[in-house]
Amino acid sequence: MFRVALDTPLRRLFDYLPPDLPEGAVGLRPGMRVRVPFGRRRLVGLVMEVGDSSELPAQRLKPVLEVLDAAPALEAPALELIRWAAEYYHHPVGQVLAAALPKLMRLGAGVTATEERWTVTASGREAAAAGEPRRAPKQRELLDFLLGRDGAAPAQSLSGNLTSWRDAARALEMRGWLERREVVLAPVAEPVRVRAAGPTLLPEQRAAVERVAAASGGYAAFLLEGVTGSGKTEVYLRLTEEALARGRAVLVLVPEIGLTPQLVGRFRERFAVPLAVLHSGLTDSERLAAWRAAWSGQARIVLGTRSAVFAPLPDLGLVVVDEEHDASFKQHEGALRYSARDLAVVRARLAAVPVLLGSATPSLETLHNVAVGRYTRLRLLRRPGVSQPPLLKLIDLRVSAIDAGISTPAALAIERHLAADAQVLVFLNRRGYAPTLLCTACGWIAPCRECDARLTVHLAAQRLRCHHCGADAPLPARCPQCGFAVKPVGQGTERIEAALGTRFPGVPIVRLDRDVVRRRGDLDEVVRRMSSGEARILVGTQMVTKGHDFPNVTLVVVLNADQGLFSTDFRASERLAQTIVQVAGRAGRGERPGEVLIQTEFPQHPLLVSLLERGYDGFAEAALAERLQASWPPFSRLAALRASAKTPDAALGFLSEARAAAGAPPRGLKLLGPVPAAMAKRAGRYHAQLLIESHERPPLHQFLDGWLPRVEASRSAQRVRWALDVDPLELF
């Protein structure tokens, strides 16, 4: 009896009999894919367990139709991770599997890389020796080509050397003179070579490497904390080298590949070993190829975003999560919502290897895990070659003159740093020209029809765009309501770029945001212009905080710190502090010390004060104390049942029914809501949520286990889109 996971919404495994094949079920074991009958369909599934009995009567059981793998597609720890994720996120195991496997694997593609080869048969050789084929020059040419290569060649080489050889090959195959075969490519066991030796480690780096390396015999979790440029990547590289030398493979998770090309580059530069890169920008066949390289053990390093946490790595020796605090590790859309950072830790535990979480601004969850002794904190305090940390100062917007978003003190500082031949970074977390288009006569504001949001003015493109649903319309010259002139209100990066251009004529300025970086290569161009010193001012959004090194930047101006101060989301302040520190980390990476100016209307806000006076540590301490008081995570556990529908009533109705289905929740567990989301209407759908809060983890999961099947069975469940989000990051 084989228990098979299938990509269906049903929360269970499906039992099948051994296949009716001459070789029967010889060798069929967990982790292998099978094709099975399911209703009227045939599905590809994965054997999760082998059992001796089924709840179903024997006559209702059907045999496996086909065994697709000769060896498990997923080894035991990877399989365990999928099972763990299914339980923890309360999601059907078959669907977790579907999220974990590349699409082509789900359709039945082989796990091993194969190659199409054409070989001359014995009769082909005889025929050729007898001078055949006489009247088919193409066939003759192909035959000669193959015989010139010991009688066989891969299709790829034929295509590279001969024109339209396929027809000739087929004709020769028909005559029995050629044979076509799919040959399994064996992994090339290349010796691990370090291409370039790294620098001599600083004492703190060496201590960190030694601590983690000493733990390599089993599971252990470490937080590697250090500001940007403190040498964290160098620590990853040394530990990778150490793991490779032991014959083990390394998994490195990064928030976004496009924004961290430097990290991939540094791994490639350092190690002459095959490296597989997995991210959402790959085509299906590229993803399959990367997955196969990992599966076969050919790739010794797998570097990827979120879903790479599921990559097969038969001899995993180390897991690294860079920028562990980054929100993009959380899959917050679709049916399966998971944290790749958290799964990476689980994966390390299941594989009994160390995991290293790196950040300049660790998440409060991770700091809490350090505080309770679950993780070991390793710190890098010094920057190689730099002595002073950047100096942070607040600019009180209530008393400073401000022009086009830039206060006078900030403008003077920019002037000063430019005069000293340095570069300046201006940060604003809002792209576009202006967030609002307003009619000064009647007060009309350009709204998005599909969202509870305003349309953003994109002046250069002459468009109005919604940053939530992507709606896009021409920029009107007059108010559609009264015909009076309209004007853009507020600042986006595009407008700041223009304002700085006016203020500092002749100074080359570049901008970095999602509007500029549309294509591959755009980012490289911006980075090149800054690195070469050709550009003097960089204006950008969050994107500037990721990975690029501009040592000549000595001044950072944060234009608006206030967005995160008074949010309904309890995590907003954490994100704000992280952003400020990350942006500040861009200043003074060379020999010169950096200066950071933060414009705010609330210079007395306790959060800003603790951040300025005591740094990120001080902020984290204050913020954790606040969370403890309010009993928010990490001092409680949350799950959110989210729903969206065409009408607000449908979304709220489903959640009310779900709440009723919970009855009286057990002690220590609270249901909050349902409430409409802060931005209720998005992309034409109405969003609402019901929060479940618990002091401890086990009762929460126990409750969800009993409750979800009832929610699923409720009448309104069919009429809305809903998903359960365990450990939600954003509460909106």
Residues within window 428-457 making contact with Zn ion, judged by CB under 5 A? 439, 441-442, 444, 448, 450-451
SS3 readout for 261-309: HHHHHHHHHHECCCEEEECCCCCHHHHHHHHHHHHCCCCCEEEECHHHH
Strands 463-465 and 456-458 come out as: antiparallel
| Shorter beta-carbon distance to ligand ADP: residue 169 or 202 | 202
Residue with tokens 């997923």: 74
Tokens in use for 190?
């290349």
3-state SS class at 544 = helix
Q: Which stretch binds Zn ion (CB under 5 A): 74-82, 232-240, 301-309, 478-486?
A: 478-486
Tokens in use for 220?
């252990």
> Distance between CA 617 and CA 674 in Å, rounded?
35
Beta-bridged to residue 671, according to DSSP, are 692
Size of the site for Zn ion (CB under 5 A): 15
> Does residue 260 belong to the site contacting ligand ADP (CB under 6 A)?
no
Contacted entry of ligand ADP, Zn ion, none for residue 228, CB cut-off 5 to 8 Å set by kind? ligand ADP
Tokens in use for 214?
């000493």
Q: Nearest CA to 499 among 420, 538, 491? A: 491
Which element (helix H / strand E) includes 205? helix 203-214
Contacted entry of Zn ion, ligand ADP, none for residue 450, CB cut-off 5 to 8 Å set by kind? Zn ion
Write down the least CB distance from residue 227 to ligand ADP, Å.
7
Contacted entry of Zn ion, ligand ADP, none for residue 459, CB cut-off 5 to 8 Å set by kind? none
Q: Which of 94, 226, 304, 676 binds ligand ADP (CB under 6 A)?
A: 226
Contacted entry of ligand ADP, Zn ion, none for residue 469, CB cut-off 5 to 8 Å set by kind? Zn ion
> Distance between CA 642 and CA 677 in Å, rounded?
9
Helix, strand, coil shares of the chain as percentages rounded to 5?
35, 25, 40
Contacted entry of Zn ion, ligand ADP, none for residue 466, CB cut-off 5 to 8 Å set by kind? Zn ion
Q: Which of 160, 191, 199, 698 binds ligand ADP (CB under 6 A)?
A: 199
| Shorter beta-carbon distance to ligand ADP: residue 383 or 571 | 383
> Does residue 469 belong to the site contacting Zn ion (CB under 5 A)?
yes
Q: Which of 19, 77, 133, 231 binds ligand ADP (CB under 6 A)?
A: 231
Write down the least CB distance from residue 478 to Zn ion, Å.
8
Residue 485 gets which letter from DSSP? B
Q: Which of 464, 471, 558, 645 binds Zn ion (CB under 5 A)?
A: 471
Q: Are 359 and 225 in contact (CB under 8 A)?
A: yes
> Does residue 482 belong to the site contacting Zn ion (CB under 5 A)?
yes
> Does residue 381 belong to the site contacting Zn ion (CB under 5 A)?
no
> Does residue 717 belong to the site contacting Zn ion (CB under 5 A)?
no
Residues within window 567-596 making contact with Zn ion, judged by CB under 5 A? none
Q: Which of 95, 139, 228, 369 binds ligand ADP (CB under 6 A)?
A: 228
Q: Which of 95, 139, 233, 552 binds ligand ADP (CB under 6 A)?
A: 233
| Shorter beta-carbon distance to ligand ADP: residue 328 or 702 | 328
Write down the least CB distance from residue 634 to ligand ADP, Å.
25
Contacted entry of ligand ADP, Zn ion, none for residue 298, CB cut-off 5 to 8 Å set by kind? none
Write down the least CB distance from residue 640 to ligand ADP, Å.
33
Write down the least CB distance from residue 216 to ligand ADP, Å.
20
> How many helices (H) and strands (E) would you count in the chain?
20, 32
Size of the site for ligand ADP (CB under 6 A): 14
Q: Are 535 and 423 in contact (CB under 8 A)?
A: yes
| Shorter beta-carbon distance to ligand ADP: residue 229 or 317 | 229
3-state SS class at 353 = coil
- Exposed e or buried b for every residue in 80-93, given b needs 16+ CB within 10 A? bbbbbbbebbbbbb
Q: Compute CA 477 distance to the chain's CA centroid, rounded to the nearest angstrom.
A: 40
Contacted entry of ligand ADP, Zn ion, none for residue 481, CB cut-off 5 to 8 Å set by kind? Zn ion
> Does residue 205 belong to the site contacting ligand ADP (CB under 6 A)?
yes
- Alpha helices, DSSP H, located in 515-671: 522-531, 572-584, 606-630, 648-661
| Shorter beta-carbon distance to ligand ADP: residue 523 or 704 | 523
Tokens in use for 442?
């009647």
Tokens in use for 104?
């082509």
Q: Which of 123, 481, 631, 647 binds Zn ion (CB under 5 A)?
A: 481
> Does residue 545 belong to the site contacting ligand ADP (CB under 6 A)?
no
DSSP string for 428-467? -S--SSBSEEEETTT--B-B-SSSSSBPEEETTTTEEE-T
Contacted entry of Zn ion, ligand ADP, none for residue 234, CB cut-off 5 to 8 Å set by kind? ligand ADP
Write down the least CB distance from residue 198 to ligand ADP, Å.
7
Strands 463-465 and 472-474 come out as: antiparallel
SS3 readout for 487-520: EEECCCHHHHHHHHHHHCCCCCEEEECCCCCCCC
> Distance between CA 496 and CA 509 in Å, rounded?
10
User: For 520, phi and psi rounded to 5 degrees?
Assistant: -60, 135
- The amino acid that residue 12 corresponds to is R
Binding mask 352-391 for ligand ADP (x = CB under 6 A): --------------------------------x-------
Tokens in use for 576?
């704000």
| Shorter beta-carbon distance to ligand ADP: residue 232 or 571 | 232
> Does residue 201 belong to the site contacting ligand ADP (CB under 6 A)?
yes
> Distance between CA 596 and CA 426 in Å, rounded?
10
Contacted entry of ligand ADP, Zn ion, none for residue 471, CB cut-off 5 to 8 Å set by kind? Zn ion
Q: Which stretch binds ligand ADP (CB under 6 A): 56-64, 95-103, 230-238, 696-704?
A: 230-238
> Distance between CA 68 and CA 33 in Å, rounded?
5
Contacted entry of ligand ADP, Zn ion, none for residue 448, CB cut-off 5 to 8 Å set by kind? Zn ion
Q: Are 669 and 699 in contact (CB under 8 A)?
A: yes
> Does residue 680 belong to the site contacting Zn ion (CB under 5 A)?
no
| Shorter beta-carbon distance to Zn ion: residue 444 or 635 | 444
Contacted entry of ligand ADP, Zn ion, none for residue 226, CB cut-off 5 to 8 Å set by kind? ligand ADP
Q: Which stretch binds ligand ADP (CB under 6 A): 108-116, 225-233, 475-483, 638-646?
A: 225-233
Write down the least CB distance from residue 233 to ligand ADP, Å.
3
Strands 391-396 and 595-600 come out as: parallel
3-state SS class at 347 = helix
Q: Compute CA 249 distance to the chain's CA centroid, rounded to the nearest angstrom.
A: 20
Q: Which of 78, 105, 202, 348 binds ligand ADP (CB under 6 A)?
A: 202
The site for Zn ion (CB under 5 A) is made up of: 439, 441-442, 444, 448, 450-451, 466, 468-469, 471, 479, 481-482, 484
The site for ligand ADP (CB under 6 A) is made up of: 199-202, 205, 226, 228-234, 384
